[in-house]
Chain A
């Protein structure tokens, strides 16, 4: 029974389709696994045994077929699920149950994928360690005293703990990729606009991108194909057809990268990466060269401003996006004892309901948008964004993809980066540039450093999601996958 949780999504899908195993058996195996280990991992905020089994049963009755029919999935709690609590890991939404499904959730349901539950995250997707969840952190299955990354630590940990074969994450500055890197799993950020944001609780609207997470590149690609595609309810949703990422992944798995040019970003070279991370990264590069790829050094001179630009743009947009949490229509209302005005009740509600990182970013964003400061901060950051985009475009004229370590450090111990917020921000150093550009990027496990996973990041031009899957699959074929110690 338990080895069903060790199988890939692709494998599970084919066994369910051939009726070798039932979808209910598969869902049950994963739900039992969650029961067995999640007290220690704390990947889930809510488990929906009844709903998952009902969805699985529908697949067994032959009501739904498809490439991933019957394969269970975990969904980051920042995405609305009708009838299932959705909190964005915040106290301000404790107990809120959405009356509607996000578009990507509708697609999961239409694909016959039982939803096991909602996964833990940094509050409102702001963070790189899941330590800012209002409901307690998630523990990295590789070492329970270490962070699983963030903001999507719950989804990544669920995969690494074999609680789910697939998971949905969202990536604004690296929130899919960095958790993937530190948990030894695959996490992909599609081209911005490639996956619908309708139903994604907004953090930074021009950067937020829902994406697929899995333990293998092929699994991730299969999920990508289910959730991606145009949505008329999201005006920033791109109209172009979804590139054939599954075919690209399978092509890459044959291990031939002849003629593919990998761009090494000069400006990332010395940036405070741990030696173990750099070592694993370089070995992987060599492995790719052995497969026929060529490494070219490129210069992206404005990448050094990506982090500061991001920490102006994202907080600004979030200060506006989070204004709706005011205790009027849903969520927490605090201090309404009949003596206070609405303004006071709103302020008390928000101070009680939001955690410190969220409050910091709201204040920072309000500042950056203030008249008198707008030009120097938010306005200037948007210009830097243009320059970063031009750096990418220029680089992609020379190379096919850009590569880097996903994050400068392996999973760090709890509490080691929370006293100085900026130290936490540094985890996103390599992931942020592509969010500002809007291009796709993926993190693939590439090695270990002192027993902890290292991630390899591949960035592709906008709309060329298939290209990154090809290179990712090739790397995976060379280095294999990595299994954490038993829980």
Chain B
């Protein structure tokens, strides 16, 4: 097998045009499953949240969850879709052990919502992603593959199936193909998924956490030479984070360019994204595309949403995340670019909540965009999982504002909070980090520093006020940083008679 020399990403995108598409599955946060009253709690013992319906016992029948239909319609409306006046569920027939009926109850040619769009901003430019359709279906059970090396299917000797997840409502959102993004395709794809996630989260219908599987993304990519028809596309699965969305598109563009450059053809296939390597590998190839033999689900009657109800749902939609960001940007008095950074870091709600807990906009932003963002990036985790809550951050800033902590001490306290030692006040007390404000102790330390550095003291007396910095440093050292630098400086100058 010859290895293909891969072009650089810049080279690839200079010679080929990209077309991308995204298919996203959202696990709804309803109390019960789509077709039965089993609970949907995460982490239950295997096969304890199952019943004849979701186990597909002989004789069982589905009964549709009304809340799931409402949630799907609201998602469609938030994505600017038209809502079907009449549509049906359909059976998608294929055999797989995690799918107890060996068909999935889904929607085929009559999706509940069609023809919408999502607007995203990347590098100051706006892009519109068309939404082809939004429909409702059911999730599968979970299979553990045993005996193989990686825990994946390849090489496994047997599998163990848990149907707790089978039947949980799943909303599928499919974009229209998006051409013309050029080299920004990966960023736009990522921005789309982030925006989609924010929109759905604002509706309160799902916690849309990629790392927990309640938001799953498949990315389609194809390349074509300028002026030619769109190329064969590949589908990439196992894209489990925003970062992976970007990397998956990027790696597929490079790989496909390499194949095409070498005169090869792109195989229409499903590929698996590897988090650790940042590239994709082919799944098991199939000779022909699967024929799912779709037909209307006879056990469920058609869905015909009342137009008046749909209009009411539309009027009750919450503020769009982009509108909210614009409003907050003004309130916080920051630039669009800065706001974009805040959004990219996933910090909008966190900062909002921190302000609600009493911090100033600047104070809230400083911690979330500073220390906490740094930590999140290092560990490759979501900002919200960085170890501090908005309430804690607000409390921390309050301690600084009250003069009980200076900036350096506050960072140390934050470390303690993140390490799970408790709330800021608790950490501060436990570690003895409070700013020393006792003027007597400070004056003693100042006198000590002056006595230890007579030359510097003289310079200051002579008017070189800037030299005070060195003395401040000495005092800070003596007090282990637990003094307010400004206060110390004033004390020094006062002591030396030059304030």
A9 to B371: give the CA distance in the assembly, Å.
82
**Which of B60, B159, B161, B300 is in CB contact (< 8 Å) with A235?**
B300
Known A98-B59, A198-B59, A323-B101; judge A235-B64 contact (CB<8 A). yes
Within 8 A of A (CB), among B94-130: 95, 97, 100-103
Within 8 A of B (CB), among A68-108: 79-80, 86, 88, 93, 96, 98-100, 102
A232 to chain B, nearest CB (A): 7
Contact A236 B58 (CB under 8 A): no
B298 A324 Cβ-Cβ under 8 A: no
Instruction: Show the binding face of B for A, using Cβ within 8 Å.
Output: 52, 55-64, 91, 93, 95, 97, 100-103, 159, 161, 291, 293-295, 298-301
Given contacts A100-B52, A236-B301, A326-B95, contact A93 B58 (CB under 8 A): yes
Question: Could you tell me the distance between the alpha carbons of A79 and B60 in the complex, rounded to whole angstroms?
Answer: 11
CB nearest neighbor in B for A379: B295
Closest to A231 in B: B61
Q: How far is the CB of A316 from chain B (nearest CB, A)?
A: 7
Are B93 and A369 in touch, CB under 8 angstroms? yes
Which residues from 280 to 295 on chain A have a C-beta closer than 8 Å to any C-beta of chain B?
none
Asked if B95 and A346 sit within 8 Å, CB to CB, the answer is yes
Q: How far is the CA of A460 from the CA of B431 in the complex (A)?
A: 86
A86 touches which of B58, B101, B102, B301 (Cβ 8 Å): B58
B301 touches A235 (CB 8 A): yes
Which residues from B are CB-within-8-Å of A80? 57-59
Q: How far is the CB of A55 from chain B (nearest CB, A)?
A: 21
Cα–Cα, bound, A346→B291 (Å): 19
Q: Cα distance A232–B103 when bound, in Å?
A: 23
Interface residues of A in 324-376 (CB under 8 A from B): 324-326, 328-330, 342-343, 346, 366, 369-371, 374
B488 to chain A, nearest CB (A): 74
Q: In the bound complex, do residue B59 and residue A320 qualify as a contact, i.e. CB atoms below 8 Å apart? A: no
Which residues of the other chain, A, contact B64 by a CB distance below 8 angstroms? 235
Contact indicator A198/B291 (Cβ below 8 Å): no
- List chain A residues, Cβ under 8 A from B52: 98-100
Nearest A residue to B50 via CB reads: A329
The number of inter-chain residue pairs (CB within 8 angstroms) is 97
- Let me know if A234 is at the binding interface, CB within 8 A: yes
Chain B residues closer than 8 Å to A369, beta-carbon distance? 93, 293-295
Chain A residues with Cβ under 8 A from B62's Cβ?
Answer: 235
| From A79, A99, A233, contact of B61 by CB (8 A) | A233
Q: Could you list 15 examples of A-B contacts with CB < 8 Å?
A: A96-B58, A98-B52, A98-B57, A99-B52, A197-B61, A235-B299, A235-B301, A236-B301, A320-B293, A320-B295, A326-B95, A326-B97, A346-B95, A366-B293, A371-B291
Task: Tell me the bound Cα distance from A199 to B95 in angstroms.
Answer: 23
CA distance A457 to B9 in the complex (A): 76
Tell me how far the C-beta of A202 lies from the nearest C-beta in chain B, rounded to whole angstroms: 7
Smallest CB separation, A110 vs chain B (Å): 18
A326 contact set on B, CB distance < 8 A: 95, 97, 102
**Chain B residues, Cβ within 8 Å of A370:** 291, 293
Tell me if A299 counts as interface (CB < 8 A to partner B): no
B58 touches A88 (CB 8 A): yes
**Chain A residues, CB < 8 A from B61:** 197-198, 233-235
Q: Mark A375-388, 1 if CB is under 8 A from B, else 0.
A: 00010000000000
Q: Which A residues touch B102, using CB under 8 A?
A: 323-324, 326
For the complex formed, measure the closest distance between the CB of B314 and the CB atoms of chain A, giving whole angstroms: 27
